[in-house]
Structure 1
């Protein structure tokens, strides 16, 4: 698996609202905006980014508070991140994108599409947050008082090195539930920076409490009638259960759902060739959404239609290429 980019994927920086944003931009063609998950950065896309850049203009930022982007005391809400992506694209001279979001980045992608439909051609959601309450207890623990101090002790040099080695060793055992621990080790490493810990705590507390996820797109999923949507999930995801893909199939019946066997929470890293192929096929098979204020107004006024009404109206913009069993 490729984890390092070549010279074509040089990290660039731009300052917006006084805060430095880091990003990779490569390739040519229709634009893909790749949004990483909680505690990750643009490097999560490295296994797939080279092949994607052969067909698309790929823009992969480090979200504020992550990677080498600035980590200020700032707005870390989902809406705030969507605004930040709008501003980054504006500075880069990119008008419209297919927005691709993994995990928390999937929630940002959904919010971006909701806030800026005129700039969104498609949504591609990879094991996204926002489709149900369930989430791993490890993320819920971040919401507890004392997380910052406890993680400060857990990331002291000797403790951190032992912890990372243990997580990586477990990830190689092949035991059930250990597949994604190598990625967890990288996130754990990022927590050594107190600014990163503070930013991630703000992010999590905005979208999760001890009962699970509190931010959802389910009540607005009917708006995807006007926008092609692909959902990709690994069967062995222990962070956000793959059963949430059923919610996508149920609340957005036009969505394409691709379930990837033998993959965890990072299907784009577990099976990058398949991920790239699915993205290519989806973009090729769908027309980019065209924003019409009148149609958007009508959708908002009418609210979600009954499934039978959707079928009668023929409003689904695409044909699923890989549907959930029984969905």
Structure 2
């Protein structure tokens, strides 16, 4: 599409589930759940541009650009609507897709997602620092890379719960041997993170989920994005279903694939797909988001958030 190779897996039959992976990963991160979901659904799992087997050009790596790319892929494949499932950075893309293309989004499932608070692991913030590209180039030489990835995989099997995700870190680190991949990931991170943490947020648009079913899934032991962000989602979007999976890290779909699939299937089974109502969407936009909590007086307890005042209409 648009002159660039886009890799994807599509399998199964039935209503479509679009799986969006996180930063530095590819469709294989969903391997433990693809076949299970495909028993009841059509599963589409792409490699985002700059990742996996997709091309890694000098291009637009913003969440909006990725959302456009998913719209175009669905169009090429003849898919009108889907339940969109996004993990980590892919959660940010999923939220942006739902915002840009509500008429094509049946439901939204966010898994250890970005965009729900500023906090993120320092390892990701480090990608934005000057010299990252050169340092990782030096660390990706064969001898150093092989020794480091082997050590990370060994640690992931140590039984220490906070180290369980290091096998995925090893795969991401191994992919950084490709200079094009390093450049793409650097562009992605700079679009969504700075030295203070995450830049993108759904806080100012979460009220729009009133018109769309949303489920939030988090690993209780997530070391990349704090599990507290799941509570943020529940506050921002009170109608959202929140599922915390015990004994799971940043990749709950890999730690407990059967439970993850049950959650997704049950969410789809018990909710009606969103049907975009342009008039209701306009009304929500006009009413506005929840404004910041108002304090009764300096240092006083915050009052409950309230909606911004409706804009007065001309008589």
Shift of 1:309: 8.8
User: Is 1:259 aligned to residue 258 of structure 2?
Assistant: no
TM-score by length of 2: 0.92
User: Is 1:130 aligned to residue 115 of structure 2?
Assistant: yes
> Which of residues 76, 91, 101 in structure 1 aligns to 2:61?
76
Which protein has the larger Cα radius of gyration, Structure 1 or Structure 2? Answer: 2
> Which of residues 12, 23, 28 in structure 1 aligns to 2:13?
28
CA contact (8 A) 2:212 2:274 kept: yes
Shift of 1:169: 1.4
Change (3 A) 1:135 1:305: closer
> Which of residues 207, 211, 220 in structure 2 aligns to 1:222?
207
Shift of 1:308: 9.9
User: What secondary structure does 1:219 align onto?
Assistant: coil
**Equivalent in the alignment of 1:153:** 138
**Equivalent in the alignment of 1:42:** 27
1:108-123 pair list within 5 angstroms? 108-123=93-108
CA contact (8 A) 2:33 2:257 kept: yes
Shift of 1:305: 5.8
**Equivalent in the alignment of 2:268:** 283
Specify every segment of 5 or more residues in structure 1 that has no aligned partner in the other structure, as ranges.
Answer: 1-15, 311-327
| 1:112-132 deviation line (CA, Å, top 9, x unaligned) | 000000100000010000000
- When structure 1 is superposed on structure 2, of 55-64 and 168-177 the one drifting more is 168-177
**Following the alignment from structure 2 to structure 1, what is the Cα–Cα distance between the partners of residues 275 and 109?**
17
CA contact (8 A) 2:249 2:255 kept: yes
Shift of 1:241: 0.7
**Following the alignment from structure 1 to structure 2, what is the Cα–Cα distance between the partners of residues 114 and 71?**
26
Shift of 1:173: 1.6
> Which of residues 36, 43, 68 in structure 2 aligns to 1:58?
43
**Following the alignment from structure 1 to structure 2, what is the Cα–Cα distance between the partners of residues 217 and 142?**
23
Shift of 1:172: 1.5
**Equivalent in the alignment of 2:278:** 293
How many residues align? The count is: 295
User: What secondary structure does 1:21 align onto?
Assistant: coil
1:162-311 pair list within 5 angstroms? 162-304=147-289
**Following the alignment from structure 1 to structure 2, what is the Cα–Cα distance between the partners of residues 36 and 127?**
11
- Runs of 4+ aligned residues of structure 1 deviating over 2 Å after TM superposition are 174-177, 304-310
CA contact (8 A) 2:161 2:247 kept: no
User: What secondary structure does 1:296 align onto?
Assistant: helix
**Equivalent in the alignment of 2:312:** none
**Equivalent in the alignment of 2:313:** none
**Following the alignment from structure 1 to structure 2, what is the Cα–Cα distance between the partners of residues 308 and 302?**
14
CA contact (8 A) 2:94 2:108 kept: yes
User: What secondary structure does 1:142 align onto?
Assistant: helix
